[in-house]
Structure 1
């Protein structure tokens, strides 16, 4: 499929041959949220050139990571979905997300938050061990992106759009990262206006307990 070989008989090298090319894992990330049309992937990855997206999809399909599925009428068209083999990348993608989130600070001028990336961020940062017995719905409005998370006794369902019966609605921007990393307390974020809520203030504390970024970085020698 034109992928570069690392010349090593190694599982890591094999994995990188399949998903190590630029954009490949971000395509997998978005497909972990659900099936996507070609145009959906372009909209979710606005910086990717069309020809590169086409190449990555062909490579991933050739490696058995994704497949095309024809939609029945009346929808009509083709969507890309992960194969069973490709779906096994979820654990690795979530682990990479947790690891990478530790180095985030503030977004650069050209960096955006997308719906799929925010859904995966919720799945990445969810701490199930704190959610036993918790039943609560959260809606996050981050600029133009609206996602929601429903927690049900240790289980999480995160998806796009509004949650009509949300217990807490959070309105914010990139400041959500500092809140989830514990760099700003819920009280500080509410008092300075960087976060606005509809619902009980205590639920924002619960949100930061359930969804947290480990911001600790190793000391530089």
Structure 2
């Protein structure tokens, strides 16, 4: 690690930035928060990063102990990248950074990926609503499946399938999911088009959609003259 740049400052903030302050490093961690990924999956989820830069960031994060490689045996023989326990400890910091950053002026272009959309659910989750939203839900987005579990006061989301039958399931593609979350189309319009499907009883599907859309619902505006 001698070739890595350092602030040379013993402050914890500076030492943390020594680890994840390089361009793309924090976004690599973000995209691993929901579970392991292959190199090409990371590359596809980070528009603008080159393969060489991604390889360098993964190597640095691995050397620092934030990321680890895991080799899948035969017949797949796939190399996965996943967060270590120390790397996973960054989750609350990145979620808080996401809440703070969402108040910055939006970019004129660019679109949220599915991991970012689902992490927004975690960042915007209100523990006071946990009892109303309690359940086990699956999100099928293109070829990926995500599991969301709402417990007593939190929501856990990861790339996985429910061990049994989920309470409700949402199936769609990333473009439709993004359009619904951005309020470009309504949920009912997406359902009518067939590009988004919900399964489960009506109460469970309502809880699922409330969970999904809560972080993207604009707060009510005060009445004129209030």
TM-score (norm 1): 0.71
For residue 114 of structure 1, what is the aligned residue in structure 2? 113
For residue 76 of structure 2, what is the aligned residue in structure 1? 75
Residue pair 2:149, 2:156 contacting (<8 A) in 1 also = yes
Residues in 2 aligned to 1:169 and 1:104: alpha-carbon distance in whole angstroms: 31
CA 1:169 to 1:36, structure 2 compared with 1: closer, same or farther past 3 Å?
Answer: closer
Residues in 2 aligned to 1:133 and 1:215: alpha-carbon distance in whole angstroms: 20
Residue pair 1:114, 1:145 contacting (<8 A) in 2 also = no
Cα-to-partner distance string for 1:142-187 (whole Å, 9 max, x where unaligned): 89988664434434243459998565859755455566xxxx9xxx
Q: Report SS of the residue matched to 2:47.
A: coil
Residues in 2 aligned to 1:47 and 1:115: alpha-carbon distance in whole angstroms: 17
Which shifted more, 73-82 or 86-95? 73-82
Q: Report SS of the residue matched to 1:27.
A: helix
Q: Report SS of the residue matched to 1:53.
A: helix
Gaps of 5+ in 2: 220-226
Residue pair 1:151, 1:157 contacting (<8 A) in 2 also = yes
Residues 45-194 of structure 1 aligned to structure 2 (within 5 Å): 45-103=46-104, 105=106, 108=109, 111-132=110-131, 134-136=133-135, 149-159=148-158, 167=168, 169=170, 172=176, 174=178, 176=180
Residues in 2 aligned to 1:126 and 1:169: alpha-carbon distance in whole angstroms: 18
CA 1:44 to 1:149, structure 2 compared with 1: closer, same or farther past 3 Å?
Answer: same
Return the offset for 1:80: 1.2
Gaps of 5+ in 1: 217-221
Residues 196-211 of structure 1 aligned to structure 2 (within 5 Å): 203=206, 207=210, 211=214
Residue pair 1:69, 1:80 contacting (<8 A) in 2 also = yes
Residues in 2 aligned to 1:190 and 1:48: alpha-carbon distance in whole angstroms: 33
CA 1:78 to 1:169, structure 2 compared with 1: closer, same or farther past 3 Å?
Answer: closer
Residue pair 1:106, 1:174 contacting (<8 A) in 2 also = no
Residue pair 2:34, 2:159 contacting (<8 A) in 1 also = no
Residues in 1 aligned to 2:106 and 2:179: alpha-carbon distance in whole angstroms: 10
Residue pair 2:65, 2:84 contacting (<8 A) in 1 also = yes
Report the aligned-residue RMSD.
Answer: 3.8
CA 1:13 to 1:79, structure 2 compared with 1: closer, same or farther past 3 Å?
Answer: same
For residue 41 of structure 1, what is the aligned residue in structure 2? 42
Residue pair 1:119, 1:159 contacting (<8 A) in 2 also = no
